[in-house]
Amino acid sequence: MGDSLRVAIAGLGTVGAGVVRLIDTNAGLIARRAGRPIEVVAVSARDRSKDRGIDMGRFDWVDDPVDLARHGNADVVVELVGGSDGPALALARATLASGKGLVTANKAMIAHHGLELASAAEAAAVPLKFEAAVAGGVPVIKGLREGAAANELTRVAGILNGTCNFILSKMEAEGRDFADVLAEAQRLGFAEADPSFDIDGVDAAHKLSILAALAFGTRPAFGSVAISGIRHVIAADIAEAAALGYRIRLVGIAEAGSNGLFQRVHPHLVPMDHPLAHVTGSLNAVMAEGNFVGPLLFQGRGAGEGPTASAVVADLIDIARGEYGPPYAMPADALADAEPEAAGERRGRAYLRLTVADKVGVLAEIAAAMRDAGVSIESLIQRGAASDGSVLVVIVTHEGPERAVAHALDKLSGSPSIIGQPMWMHILG
């Protein structure tokens, strides 16, 4: 058995403590599988005295995480500080510059700076790995980089945020409204005190942009992800979708084609016979479609101590084995510069929910706007008025250009018959 792979860990929150616990618990197994032991030698965190339920006193303690980059005794730094910039990025840069490998779970940093870091890792001929940055314990980075590597991938789509999926699943199972379920998720620790990164889709977009770069061999392009979250999904949307044979999921979807690179995170109606419809609770799942393999599905726990630690240590085992290469499968400077797909070029089916005043002529006005914009209506459902006198109108369109739907909604905006903002969700095809 070879020499230990010596690891320094920056950040001892849930995941950092989990990595230490995993390496302790499965040490013998890891050494057998990796061909050599993996050994934590140094750690850094904000609060040295905090009880993390596990002995950190046996490791060299370093106050400034960035100092781990120059730690004399470490081969690899595990960055679990978090945040796209600041100390995490400083540590990542310094680690690669000093010729050490880097493993990170930091999706925000990889989404924003992954290309720079990959170039630096390749220049220094050291590993950079980030399996834990997407879908927690699910080996989907590896699945795309290696498992599906023989394929031209046409699409990658996934449920990438466990908090949103937990909330949507609970709304669905219990018929409750968003705000109510969010508050419960916060009490249970499934949602942050400030949940906006999760529920507004930013976290899923970070992950989607990482997957897209891997899947299509394109430069990471977080800035061109069209993002909207689940804040405006109401219980009635879920009930209407169910009646139509769909579940509502926050789906990140990326496609590369002749129109350019398309990336969107949006609540979608997912048909019941689609595998993503059966992803419930806080699970994550990713589908990829290849020109030879067809559709692949990877599913599992997308967050939490154990799953995230599992992905971090899988990366360390790959490094210990010497089984690693360019982070994005091909050298960073070989990634293509994909233009974002021009807006409005897409076609699809849409779900529209409008809250309208209960008065004569409203349906005619809506129907006329759809007709004039060239939107073909597959079904329209109007339920009786709510206690406040408002009425929900739900429309499912036939397949057509998204531009036409946007045009119809433009026509209706400002109409005194329409109350609040219409909800527009895409139907996953």
- Between 178 and 246, whose beta carbon lies closer to a copy of itself? 246
Helix (H) and strand (E) counts in the chain: 13, 17
| Longest CA–CA separation in the chain, Å | 81
> Would you state the structure tokens that stand for residue 35, as one six-digit string?
């061909």
Q: d(Cα 314, Cα 317) in Å, to the nearest integer?
A: 5
Half-sphere exposure of 426 (CA within 13 A, CB side): 22
| Lookup: tokens for 292 | 């030879």
Q: Select 66 or 115, whichever has its Cβ closest to a copy of itself.
A: 115
Rounded CA gap, 193 and 184, in Å? 11
CA distance 339 to 224: 9
Nearest distance from C-beta of residue 349 to a copy of itself, angstroms: 23
Strands 260-271, 283-290: pairing is: unpaired
Q: Which residue has the tokens 């048909």?
A: 271
> What does the binding site for a copy of itself look like in residue numbers (CB under 8 A)?
18, 22, 25-26, 29-30, 32-35, 131, 137-139, 142-143, 146-152, 217, 275, 278, 285, 290-301, 306-307, 309-314, 316-318, 321-326, 329-331, 334
* Element holding 116 (H helix, E strand): helix 107-124
Q: Parallel, antiparallel, or unpaired: how do β-strands 377-382 and 38-44 relate?
A: unpaired
Residue positions annotated with a catalytic role: 207
Closest CA to 74 of 27, 43, 41: 41
* Residue with Cβ nearer a copy of itself (75 or 122): 122
Is the CB of residue 267 less than 8 Å from the CB of residue 238? no
CA 246 to chain centre: 21
Nearer to a copy of itself, 112 or 219 (CB): 219
Contact 332, 400 (CB under 8 A): no
DSSP state of 146: I
Q: Is-contact 309 18, C-beta < 8 A?
A: yes
